A = this chain, B = another copy of it.
Amino acid sequence: MEKTRRVDIVSKVLAANDRIAAENRRTFAGAGVVVVDVMGSPGAGKTMLLEATIERLAGSARVAVITGDIATARDAGRIARHGVPAVQIVTGEFGGACHLEAGTVAEALGRLDLAAVDVLFVENVGNLVCPAEFDLGQDARVVVLSVTEGEDKPLKYPLAFQVADLVILSKTDLVPHLDVDMEDLRANVREVNPRAEPLEISAKTGEGMDGWVSWLGLVRSKKC
């Protein structure tokens, strides 16, 4: 198949996705739910961040999570243990596999009572490339990059960082054991997205969690 034909097909897929994303956005606005799309590589620490976040928001916001994976319902299981609604999307069943789309999120919404939710996190498939291309109807997008992944990743995978409203550098407790140059990493984030000052977090030690919870509060207050 020649290149122009493939680009044309991709454009049609993205246009169809954007229409459903706009519907999702209206649904979320109508229900007064703030929605955050959480992207990142496999093992970036997305699920652990959400587990810590649920504990921090307990009592101040009703949280729910949609998790996307190619196989298994492990992440939804981890989330549900914290006593919040968790819906697993297994993308292997959709033929799409490597990312969530607005349509798969719309289907998952049928399994959630949005009237009982204040903040909905959508944990995307672990992939630093494809999820960035698909609007889900979220209010904000976060990309989680583990410090173990190296300084150059924002430059090598720019789109995820460019579409993100917030960049989280995770697993900072490991920095003393790595050769990572944090100043270089921060500079590379700023180079691809000057408005996304990186937030450094260890869900394990709690470092940076205050800043993350404050940022979530700002996103909520903007929507109200």
Nearest-neighbour CB distance to chain B for A49, whole angstroms, equals 13
Docked pose: A13 CA to B5 CA in angstroms: 11
Docked pose: A79 CA to B93 CA in angstroms: 39
Nearest-neighbour CB distance to chain B for A71, whole angstroms, equals 5
Q: Tell me the count of chain A residues lying within 8 A, CB to CB, of chain B.
A: 45
Residue of B nearest to A96 (CB): B6
| Pick from B16, B72, B156: contact of A152, CB under 8 Å | B72
How many copies of this chain sit in the oligomeric assembly?
2
Q: Please, which residues of chain B bring their CB within 8 A of the CB of A31?
A: none
A69→B16 contact, CB < 8 A: no
Docked pose: A43 CA to B44 CA in angstroms: 10
Q: Please, which residues of chain B bring their CB within 8 A of the CB of A3?
A: 94-95
Interface flag for A9 (CB, 8 Å):
yes
A13-B6, A128-B126 in contact; A43/B95 too (CB < 8 A)?
no
Interface flag for A10 (CB, 8 Å):
yes
Sample of 17 A–B contacts (CB below 8 Å) = A1-B16, A6-B95, A41-B41, A41-B42, A41-B126, A41-B149, A42-B156, A43-B149, A43-B153, A70-B129, A70-B156, A71-B155, A72-B155, A126-B153, A126-B157, A148-B171, A174-B178
Given contacts A43-B146, A179-B204, 10 further A-B contacts (CB under 8 A): A1-B12, A41-B149, A43-B149, A70-B156, A72-B152, A127-B130, A148-B174, A174-B174, A174-B177, A177-B177
